[in-house]
């Protein structure tokens, strides 16, 4: 992985090693990208560096729904026209985006930032479950829609959440079975998502 003149741990090797950690980037691609950046104009590379820094320094989690935002509250939570009595729980911000794209839903969201995956060591403490329970305990919530992926782990996460939410006296529903089992929300089309939300059923 090292270029001939570079020592391991040098600036170039370090960038290659970092790039190679990204999904879908192997050592070969990391090397190619590094050489591309090495040859690119200074301003071009610094714009990329600034964007990367801003991503982590300026984006935080919405204090209510935990979606990424530049503000204390995200646009959706700040929008008073949205119904605060319904919360739609998704695994990832990209699932929220897919449901928003599908249109039709006028409630609020909650982003878990993952799903329970005991085999990978991901337990409740790694997700935003406490924040969700706090929202429900604060009152005013009537329905929580489980829009986790219809996969084994997504269903497991929904089962677990349901066991915590039901005793709080809130109605827990699940997306309709229109989505094929094992699929993921972010790749479903708008009509499928809209139908799944429309046809949701009690857990």
**Residues in contact with Zn ion by the rule CB under 5 A:** 62, 64-65, 67, 74, 77
Among 181, 190, 198, 199, binds other proteins (CB under 8 A): 181
> Of 183, 106, 201, 144, nearest to 192 (Cα)?
183
Beta carbons of 64 and 77 less than 8 angstroms apart: yes
Comparing CB distances to other proteins, the nearer of 3 and 189 is 189
Rounded to the nearest 10 degrees, the angle between the axes of helix 27-39 and helix 11-20 is 130
Regarding 8 and contact with other proteins (CB under 8 A), the answer is: no
Among 8, 24, 139, 169, binds other proteins (CB under 8 A): 24
Regarding 182 and contact with other proteins (CB under 8 A), the answer is: yes
Give dist(CA 134, CA 18) in Å, integer: 37
Regarding 191 and contact with other proteins (CB under 8 A), the answer is: no
Regarding 187 and contact with other proteins (CB under 8 A), the answer is: yes
Size of the site for other proteins (CB under 8 A): 20
Structure tokens at 155: 């269903």
Give dist(CA 80, CA 59) in Å, integer: 22
Regarding 183 and contact with other proteins (CB under 8 A), the answer is: yes
Whose tokens are 């604060």? That residue is: 138
Residues that bind other proteins (CB under 8 A): 23-24, 118-119, 121, 151-153, 155-156, 159-160, 163, 180-184, 187-188
């Amino acid at each position: 992985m090292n270029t001939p003149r570079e020592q391991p741990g040098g600036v170039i090797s370090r960038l290659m090693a970092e790039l190679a950690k990204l999904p879908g980037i192997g050592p070969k691609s990391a090397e190619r990208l590094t050489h591309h950046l090495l040859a690119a104009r200074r301003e071009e590379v610094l714009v990329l560096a600034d964007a990367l820094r801003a991503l982590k320094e300026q984006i935080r989690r919405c204090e209510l729904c935990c979606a990424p935002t530049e503000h204390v509250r995200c646009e959706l939570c700040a929008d008073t026209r949205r119904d605060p009595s319904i919360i739609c729980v998704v695994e990832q911000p990209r699932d929220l985006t897919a449901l928003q794209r599908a249109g039709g839903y006028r409630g609020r969201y909650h982003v878990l930032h993952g799903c329970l995956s005991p085999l990978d060591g991901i337990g409740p403490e790694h997700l935003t479950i406490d924040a969700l329970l706090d929202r429900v305990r604060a009152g005013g919530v009537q329905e929580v829609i489980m829009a986790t992926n219809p996969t084994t782990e997504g269903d497991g996460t929904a089962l677990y959440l349901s066991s915590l939410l039901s005793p709080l006296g809130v109605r827990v529903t699940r997306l309709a079975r229109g989505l094929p089992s094992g699929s993921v929300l972010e790749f479903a089309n708008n009509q499928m998502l809209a139908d799944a939300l429309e046809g949701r059923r009690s857990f």
